Chains A and B, each alone.
Chain A
Amino acid sequence: MNELNVLNGANGASMVAPMAAPINVNDCLLQLYEEHYELEDYQKGVPRWCTGCGDNAILTAVQRLCRDEKLAPEKTVFVSGIGCSSRLPHYMNTYGFHSLHGRALPIAEGVRLARPDLKVFVNMGDGDCCSIGAAHWIHAIRYNMNMTAMLHDNNIYGLTKKQASPTSPIGLKTNTTPRGSYLEALNPLTVTLGVSNVSFVAQVVDWIPKLLYQTLSAAYHHKGFSFVRIIQRCPEWLPTHMDEYLHDPQRVLLLHHENGLEIDSELAKRYTKMEEHDPSDLNRAREIASGSDPIPVGILYRNENVPLYEEVRADTRLRTTSLVKNGLEAEFDKFTIWPEGHARATA
């Protein structure tokens, strides 16, 4: 209010030329004030992940994204399941929902259907999403609600201390597979790309911050359910597991396209293994997705034309008291017996 007076001049006279349409200075100021955010506006507490944990990189990228997209913290919700990765909402100064092991997606769907005005993000671990939450994951793809789901995939159960996860590669020694994992790893990308209604699938690794940011940003801007698998290090339980990929740029395949990610020159110098991939090409996306070495990184698939559940299902009418009253009375009437001569409640 004070600033307003200053801007308007002591006598409140408009500073705009008399012929122009009057500008509501009040609104401009509010807008300016509300839409400018600093990184610390999104930061909360000190993350308690192990040193070097890939979750830190994901958190940083997400905070930057919120700042750059000017997401109002009160209109942003991070929903997570249970696991190390699912602690992420606690470190965001937005609304958060740290829920149940495997159930982040249906909770996020409820939030989304109730409140299309909120921005919804989902953080899940590989056990969380691909094991206990597998049914919800597949159906979240089908529903195609507008939200960004991040799969923090460290190939291991972190929080429960090193058990095999569905994405653990064959031979991986864990507490439940001391002589090596014996099942073929589940590939979250091919699964996602196999579900009808799939609308956005990307993969990225935690150790290339710029790409991580770019990928999450593309996912955020996608209209529909965007699924990003982030290959993530867990130095606590698998300290050397990803080293070969980390140290050898040739073990990463950068996907780029004018409709996908643009690779800046600095990255291009280091990651020379590249493929120009059009994200609208589902068949090629599936082929790329099935490869794991080199790790394909970038947008595999994008289709903006899949109908959104919340739009297909939503009622666009304003739900007013009189609408409910009329609807309800009409419903009552369907089952009502009126005594002779009794006037009906509704005409």
Chain B
Amino acid sequence: MIAAGEVGTVKNGKAARKNAGVQAAGGVLARKVTRLSEHIVEIISDSGEGAQKCGQSFGAIVAQMGLGVWTTEIIPAEIRPPARSVAGASGNRIRIGSKHISNGGNETDLVIAFNEQVLLGRVRANELKPGCTILLESMWRDDRRIATTYADAVDQLLAAGFKVVEIPMDKECRKIVSDPRKGKNMFVLGILCGLYSLDLQTARDQVVLTFGKKSAKVIESNIALLDAGYAWADANLDFKYEVPATKSTEPQIVVNGNTALALGVLASGMEICAMYPITPATSTSHYLSDAFQEVGGVVHQAEDEIAACAFAIGASYAGKCTVTVTSGPGYSLKQEAIGLAVMGEIPLVVINVQRGGPSTGQPTKTEQGDLMTAIFGSHGDAPKVVIAPGTIEECFYSVITARKIAETFNMVVVILSDANLASSQQPFKRPMFDEAWLAPPIDQSAIPAGAKPYDWDPKTGLARRFIPGQPGGMHTLTGLAHDENSHVAYDAEINQRAMRARSLKLATLQKTLKPPTVFGDRTGDLLVIGWGSTKGAIEEAVEGLRQEGKKVSSTHLTFIQPMPPGIKEILAGFKKVITIENNWSDSPVDEMIDESNRRYSALAMLLRSRYLVDVDCWSECRGTPLKPNTVRRVILEAIA
């Protein structure tokens, strides 16, 4: 991994302040162009100032140019936090690179901020790289009430070693629009396009797309702002970056994880999504509400999560496998109904876009805290399938797989995404529609005489599903213990047999799974195991260390219940095994912690119990996606 190149002639300190915004005499700057293999840029503002839109458009333009890209939303906890507040930073973080980018990366290399307060928020969160370049709106210097705070903040930033370039965004935008609050973001987009030597026409096309539904006048003025920003950067900034692109020869699709899930719902043939709004899951249903209009389908916004899950179960029971989308607190509420689907053997897909917990926790922040609940949640023994996509692309395909498994095995399939995947964007190979993805039509053929609604195959646990409308199949499905005829039965024998059948289905599914692939050699000093959204960060760190000759490999589990075959063999090839996760585990060096009371992270706990291997763990719950550098540090400590 290559860090940002040194920026040559950034105007520093007092000189910067004096020169910033001043057209250079003669119009030609002695410009230093730095070639980079990757860079991370952040655009932040008060919420409502459009930094999100600016960042997303920038990400899209960069992707169009053929660069690898990963965008991450920066979302404050409140919808409209007070303006100019440290906690109010709202915007987007875009990691761009010559190669494929698999995660949000480490600290930011360049940040463009609409005020100094939101910037301080990012500094305090340790999200900016030491010496990072800061492009800062300078209008506050002229605001009598704010000037002193502003100047102090800038001095602090300079003292901390950041390179600050002040830009008169407001003043420049006023030359084009009367309300710069509404247009600054496109001016800034122009600056960025200039700074990264992007194709201006591609950028203009993107602006047209971004404002597609707005009037021609709006589009025109935004393009004018973009052009102005581009020109301003060209005339006033004495540095530029170039990240060479390797253009993809294949069509690519750029969406965030939630949209990918929604597209997966469409592609899987499901036509009902039952939900109740909850961050960060909801945008999946926003997208579906619109897209369903084209292909036929309904998003049912229920009165609560309990109803949403029950509604999905009713629809699935009636023959249409249905999805319910939620996040942690909503997932907790669905537990009882999920148990019913398990007991009744009703196919059901539940998507849990995890957020920080417990309780309402951290709505906009990421965490992998729901793995145990997904596997063991709901009372009694309620076996269900749990899969965790590791990339945006996997978000899409996981839904298709989930629907298929749900209907083949008459099981509940839980998909564990998280806030990190939900709002991150990354290009992946454009899927081409495949008829085999779709759900089969509802079977309304007559049930042969003598067939039973729970005719469990003694070898696989599977039984054919009876769907209302099928003559001869009348029975009453119940959440109570029941026999093969769906008759309520509490006999010791019957309960044992039914429990066995429901559990056996997991083993049957397991036999169809492929062993996980190992990233790196199959033997070595350390194996890192991860699951879900940390995939990119873990693999990037492992790849870097392997290039340095370290004997480290990693493997990533997509199926967590059931676990695929072959894991034991993989574990056996390494001297040490560690899971790295975004959930809680006790640090073994804490004073109160010893082997008898240490709480392990979720996957480590599962692997330890299943394979009787001393799987160590490292985890954090900072609400932020795992950084490759953090993983790198953890690995180096583990092999030290």
- Which residues of A line the B interface, CB within 8 A? 45, 72-75, 77-79, 82, 89-90, 92-100, 103, 105-115, 117-118, 135-136, 138-139, 313-315, 317-319, 321, 323-332, 335-340, 342, 345
Interface segment, one of B27-35, B123-131, B300-308, B548-556: B300-308
Whether A99 and B254, one on each chain, are in contact in the complex, defined by CB atoms closer than 8 angstroms, is no
> Within the assembled complex, what's the spacing in Å between the Cα atoms of A41 and B278?
46
Whether B274 and A99, one on each chain, are in contact in the complex, defined by CB atoms closer than 8 angstroms, is no
- The answer, yes or no, to whether B448 is at the interface (CB within 8 Å) is no
Interface segment, one of B152-160, B317-325, B509-517, B620-628: B317-325
Whether A111 and B310, one on each chain, are in contact in the complex, defined by CB atoms closer than 8 angstroms, is no
Whether B315 and A110, one on each chain, are in contact in the complex, defined by CB atoms closer than 8 angstroms, is yes
> Within the assembled complex, what's the spacing in Å between the Cα atoms of A75 and B468?
6
Instruction: From B312, B344, B430, B435, give the contact of A321 (CB < 8 A).
Output: B435
The 6 lowest CB-CB distance pairs between A and B, nearest first, are: A110-B314, A96-B476, A327-B295, A319-B296, A106-B310, A114-B315
Enumerate B254-309 residues with CB–CB distance to A below 8 Å: 254-255, 259, 263, 266-267, 269, 271-272, 274, 291-298, 300, 302-304, 306-308
Interface segment, one of B219-227, B242-250, B579-587, B593-601: B242-250
Enumerate B315-347 residues with CB–CB distance to A below 8 Å: 315-320, 322, 336-337, 340, 344
Known: A114-B319, A324-B266. A95 touches B295 (CB 8 A): no
Whether B63 and A337, one on each chain, are in contact in the complex, defined by CB atoms closer than 8 angstroms, is yes
Interface of B is mostly: mixed
For A335, what are the chain B residues with a Cβ–Cβ distance below 8 Å? 253-255, 259
Name the residue of chain B whose CB is nearest to the CB of A34.
B471
- The answer, yes or no, to whether B567 is at the interface (CB within 8 Å) is no
Give A5 Cβ to nearest chain B Cβ, in Å.
22
Q: How many residues of B contact A (CB 8 A)?
A: 73
- Which residues of B line the A interface, CB within 8 A? 63-64, 247-255, 259, 263, 266-267, 269, 271-272, 274, 291-298, 300, 302-304, 306-308, 310-320, 322, 336-337, 340, 344, 427, 430-433, 435, 438, 442, 468-480, 487-488
Whether A79 and B251, one on each chain, are in contact in the complex, defined by CB atoms closer than 8 angstroms, is no
Known: A315-B298, A327-B266. A92 touches B476 (CB 8 A): yes
> Within the assembled complex, what's the spacing in Å between the Cα atoms of A314 and B296?
8
Instruction: From A74, A106, A108, A329, give the contact of B302 (CB < 8 A).
Output: A106
For this complex, 22 residue pairs linking A to B, each with C-beta atoms less than 8 Å apart, are A73-B474, A74-B473, A95-B475, A98-B477, A107-B311, A110-B300, A110-B315, A110-B316, A111-B314, A114-B314, A115-B442, A314-B298, A315-B293, A315-B297, A319-B296, A321-B435, A323-B296, A324-B295, A335-B255, A336-B252, A337-B64, A339-B250
Give A201 Cβ to nearest chain B Cβ, in Å.
20
Q: A95-B476, A111-B468, A328-B263 are in contact. List 8 more A-B contacts (CB 8 A).
A: A111-B317, A113-B315, A117-B469, A118-B469, A326-B295, A327-B295, A335-B259, A336-B253
Known: A74-B474, A115-B469. A110 touches B317 (CB 8 A): yes
> Within the assembled complex, what's the spacing in Å between the Cα atoms of A107 and B340?
11
Whether B295 and A332, one on each chain, are in contact in the complex, defined by CB atoms closer than 8 angstroms, is no
Whether A332 and B253, one on each chain, are in contact in the complex, defined by CB atoms closer than 8 angstroms, is yes
Whether B271 and A319, one on each chain, are in contact in the complex, defined by CB atoms closer than 8 angstroms, is yes
> Within the assembled complex, what's the spacing in Å between the Cα atoms of A134 and B590?
48
> Within the assembled complex, what's the spacing in Å between the Cα atoms of A112 and B300?
12
Whether B337 and A115, one on each chain, are in contact in the complex, defined by CB atoms closer than 8 angstroms, is no
For B315, what are the chain A residues with a Cβ–Cβ distance below 8 Å? 110-111, 113-114
Whether B310 and A100, one on each chain, are in contact in the complex, defined by CB atoms closer than 8 angstroms, is yes
Whether B263 and A100, one on each chain, are in contact in the complex, defined by CB atoms closer than 8 angstroms, is no
Whether A331 and B476, one on each chain, are in contact in the complex, defined by CB atoms closer than 8 angstroms, is no
Give A226 Cβ to nearest chain B Cβ, in Å.
18
> Within the assembled complex, what's the spacing in Å between the Cα atoms of A51 and B333?
38
Whether A329 and B433, one on each chain, are in contact in the complex, defined by CB atoms closer than 8 angstroms, is yes
For A345, what are the chain B residues with a Cβ–Cβ distance below 8 Å? 251, 430, 432
> Within the assembled complex, what's the spacing in Å between the Cα atoms of A157 and B318?
30
Give B363 Cβ to nearest chain A Cβ, in Å.
22
> Within the assembled complex, what's the spacing in Å between the Cα atoms of A155 and B247?
72
Of the candidates A73, A335, A339, A340, the one having the most CB atoms from chain B within 10 angstroms of its own CB is A335
Name the residue of chain B whose CB is nearest to the CB of A327.
B295
